[in-house]
Amino acid sequence: MSLKAFHVVFVTVATLLAMGVGVWCLRIRESGYVPIGMVSIGVAVALVVYGVWFLRKMKGVSYL
């Protein structure tokens, strides 16, 4: 597995984890969890933006 492939997998897993934690925190609806959920969803969005930027930058590099 190349460094590019590992990076794509890692960013994907981190995005899914951040989104899952965000949704979980927002579903609890207690005062301490709502800000954490909003920050977590914001991090997930930032990771998606970063992932797209990374894939565009590494377009010419092979996954092998």
Contact assessment for residue 20 and residue 37, using Cβ atoms and an 8 Å cutoff: no
Contact assessment for residue 38 and residue 53, using Cβ atoms and an 8 Å cutoff: no
**Any domain includes 64:** no
pLDDT for residue 64: 82
**Any domain includes 11:** yes
**Any domain includes 62:** no
Q: How many domains does the chain have?
A: 1
**Any domain includes 36:** yes
pLDDT tens for each residue of the chain, 64 residues long: 899 999 999 999 999 999 999 999 999 989 999 999 999 999 999 999 999 999 999 999 998 8
**Any domain includes 24:** yes
**Any domain includes 22:** yes
Find the domain containing 33 and state its range.
Answer: 3-57
Q: How many CB atoms lie within 10 A of CB 8?
A: 16
Q: What does the DSSP assignment read for 4-57?
A: HHHHHHHHHHHHHHHHHHHHHHHHH--TTHHHHHHHHHHHHHHHHHHHHHHHHH
